[in-house]
Amino acid sequence: MSQNKNAENEVTIREHVYDGIQEYDQKLPNWWLFTLYITMVWFVIAWFIYYQTPIRTLTDHERVDQHIAVIEGKKKAELEKMLASLSNESLKEMSADATHTAAGKAIFETKCAACHGINLDSKLNGVTLPGLPLNDTEWKYGGKPLEIMKTVTEGSPDVTKGMIAWKTQLSPSEIAQVVSYVLSKQPQS
C-alpha cells in the first residue's frame, strides 16, 4: 500500500525537451481551473444580457446624443420664447441701449466682421468682402428688425450665395445683441 501512495505522488516527466528544458506533466492548480471556468460562464451570461436582452445600458455615443438633443430642445424653446417676446419696436429700443450694442459689437467683430467688415461696409483695406454692406438702407431679405433677426438666425435662403444660419453658433440673446448693434449703425430716416 505504501508503494501505491508513492506511485501516486511521483512526478512524471515528458519525453521531449524544448530549449534545454524538460517538462513535467503536472495538473494545473484547482484554483486556476476554477477561475478559468468561472470567467467562461461569466462571459456567456454577460454576453447574453448585453446583446440579447433590452436590459443593457446606453452606449457613450447614445448618451451624448441624448444630451445634445436636450440642449438643442432648450435652445429651440429659448429661441421661440425670445422671438415671441420680440417686436420691431423692442429691437429698436435695444439698439438704443449701450449695453446691448456693446455686447453686439463684440460678437459682430469676432463672428461677422470677416464677411461684413469692421465698419459694416463690406470692405477691408479697399478689398470687397463676400458679405453685403450693413450700414446702408438696402436689405436683400428685408430691412425690418425682425426680418434682419430672421436672416441672422436662419441665414439666407440660398446659403451658397448668402449668409449661413447662426442659430447653431449663437444663442438667441446673442443674435438679438448683434441685430441691435447693426440697427444702431443704420442711418436715421
> Which stretch of 10-14, 41-45, 71-75 has the lowest confidence by average pLDDT?
10-14
pLDDT by residue (tens digit) across 127-169? 888 888 888 888 888 888 888 888 888 888 877 777 888 888 8
- Output the CA–CA distances (angstroms, integers) from residue 81 to 20, 152, 175, in the order listed: 83, 17, 14
- At 20 the pLDDT is 81
Q: What are the extents of the domains in the chain?
A: 2-52, 77-184
* Predicted pLDDT at 132: 84
d(CA 145, CA 180): 8
Q: Which of 132, 133, 128, 131 minimizes the C-alpha distance to 115?
A: 131
Does 10 have pLDDT greater than 90? no
pLDDT score, position 123: 85
**How many Cβ atoms sit within 10 Å of the Cβ of residue 124?**
15
pLDDT at 14 over 70: no
pTM: 0.59
- Of 147, 102, 112, the C-alpha closest to 133 is 112
Per-residue pLDDT tens digits for 77-128: 887 777 777 778 888 888 888 888 899 899 989 988 888 888 888 888 888 8
Structural fold of domain 77-184: Cytochrome Bc1 Complex; Chain D, domain 2 (1.10.760)
Between helices 145-154 and 172-184, what is the axis angle to 10°? 130
- CA angle 39–45–46, rounded 5-degree value: 85
Q: Give the per-residue pLDDT at 12.
A: 64
Residue 48: pLDDT over 60: yes
Tell me the pLDDT tens digit for each residue of 18-41. 788 877 777 889 999 999 999 999
> Averaging pLDDT over each range in 2-6, 56-60, 132-136, which range is the top one?
132-136
pLDDT confidence of residue 168:
84
Nine-digit cell string for 178: 448683434
What is the DSSP track for 134-150?
SSSS--SS--SHHHHHH
Of 131, 154, 156, 129, the residue nearest 141 (C-alpha): 156
The runs of H, that is alpha helices, within 27-131 are: 30-52, 60-85, 88-96, 98-107, 113-116
pLDDT over threshold 70, residue 62: yes
Instruction: Give strand pairing partners of 21.
Output: 18
With CA atoms as reference, report the closest residue to 183 among 41, 68, 86, 43.
86
